[in-house]
Amino acid sequence: MSAPNKSYDPVEVETLKPEEIERMRDEALAAFAAAGSLDALHEAKVAHTGPASPLALANREIGALPPHAKAEAGKRVGMARGGVNKALAARQAELEAERDARVLVEEDVDVTLPYDRVRSGARHPLTTLSERIEDIFVAMGYEVAEGPQVEAEWFNFDALNIGPDHPARGEADTFFVQTASGGGSAVREGGTESGVVLRTHTSPVQIRSLLERELPVYVICPGRVYRTDELDATHTPVFHQVELLAVDEGLTMADLKGTLDHMVQSLFGEGMKTRLRPNFFPFTEPSAEMDMLCYVCKGESVGNPDRPCRTCSSEGWIELGGCGMVNPRVLTACGVDPEKYSGFAFGFGIERMLMFRHNVEDMRDMVEGDVRFTRPFGMEI
């Protein structure tokens, strides 16, 4: 019986042969060289330097060798592993440098490009002007009041003393949503069946304010109104009004005049004033048409052909809108005692004011929504 073979195992030694070790090393180097990305290199690293890699397995075999063969094999495997790690580190550095260079190009920012290629919009001058007018009155203690644009006929007409036969109530001027005889969806307001219209002026907000608020009432009512006009250079079926209502004890026409003068001075500068011409509105009595001094020529173009004024057509005055003392019938309809209280109101169109204040010649420019129209008015958003 032969003694156990303690010094030599041909099977195990097979993996530690110089040409085997060399082959393992070369395979690793080839795999690293072939790795085209850091991910691929990571895979090659696991395969060729990880605990299950051929060289790691070979290294484990060394312990089983006879002492005299250990040093030689250890050196061989160690050198091969050293070479493999070095090649790995070199390839790693190479691929990282490539990636960094690529990222620099891909994420390059051209700091010379204009930053504002996407143009910002602008607030519409109608909004800006309307808010400016509101501010003048808020500064005097008025409150901003708003009401629905789809309005009961009673608020838009009846309560304002505009009787059923008034021409403005006709379909020629008013957009009807529902007529009073229209059955189920007509509304009940002021004790009667009322139709529904798109409000033709902001005056129904006077009524709502008087019904809803405690006296005295000082409100400014901006808003959109509707009339059956065709859109052209001077008409639009949807436009904006600002209406003012003050109801208190002892208010007179002098208060109305002073308030109007203050408004035009705030909007157009010192020395501005208004004038009143008799007129008729069902909801005010007495009623007047209000004009303001032309803010360009201050009236100096009148009778002076050498200095014609385009803004007022040399009239010296610009028509603004309507005004008057609130008709006692309106106060009564809103449950306010006309013996104790009086009030004044006025209303005018914002589009019209925008036209003469900023020389806008065509109303269609205001509704088309082209930012080239709004931008010159400043106020970016």
Per-residue binding string, ligand PHE, 188-217, x by CB under 6 A, is: -------------x-x--------------
At position 188, the amino acid (one-letter code) is R
How far apart CA 337 and CA 357 sit, in angstroms, is 39
How far apart CA 74 and CA 320 sit, in angstroms, is 106
At position 236, the amino acid (one-letter code) is T
| 347 near ligand PHE (CB under 6 A) | yes
Which DSSP state fits 380? B
Using DSSP's 3-state secondary structure scheme, residue 261 falls into helix
How far apart CA 57 and CA 51 sit, in angstroms, is 7
CB nearer to ligand PHE: pick between 28 and 207: 207
Whether the ω angle into residue 286 lies within 30 degrees of 0, i.e. cis, is: yes
CB nearer to ligand PHE: pick between 121 and 170: 170
Q: What is the side-by-side order of every strand in the sheet holding 217-226?
A: 143-144, 217-226, 238-248, 342-349, 317-326, 284-293, 274-281
Give Cβ neighbours of residue 251 (< 8 Å, ≥ 6 apart). Answer: 325, 342, 343, 344
Among the listed residues 159, 186, 276, 345, the single contact to ligand PHE using CB under 6 A: 345
Question: Is the CB of residue 167 less than 8 Å from the CB of residue 110?
Answer: no
| 322 near ligand PHE (CB under 6 A) | yes
Task: Scan for tokens 């008729």, then name that residue.
Answer: 280
Per-residue binding string, ligand PHE, 2-31, x by CB under 6 A, is: ------------------------------
How far apart CA 252 and CA 334 sit, in angstroms, is 20
CB nearer to ligand PHE: pick between 186 and 251: 251
Q: Could you tell me the smallest distance in angstroms from the CB atom of residue 255 to ligand PHE?
A: 14
Per CB under 6 A, the segment of 42-50, 92-100, 121-129, 321-329 that binds ligand PHE is 321-329
Question: Which residues are known binding-site members for Mg(2+)?
Answer: 285
Q: How many residues form the binding site for ligand PHE (CB under 6 A)?
A: 12
> Rule CB under 6 A: which of 236-265 touch ligand PHE?
243
Per CB under 6 A, the segment of 100-108, 138-146, 339-347, 356-364 that binds ligand PHE is 339-347
How far apart CA 136 and CA 216 sit, in angstroms, is 19
| 137 near ligand PHE (CB under 6 A) | no
CB nearer to ligand PHE: pick between 54 and 324: 324
| 44 near ligand PHE (CB under 6 A) | no
- Using CB under 6 A, list all residues that contact ligand PHE: 201, 203, 243, 281, 284, 321-324, 345-347
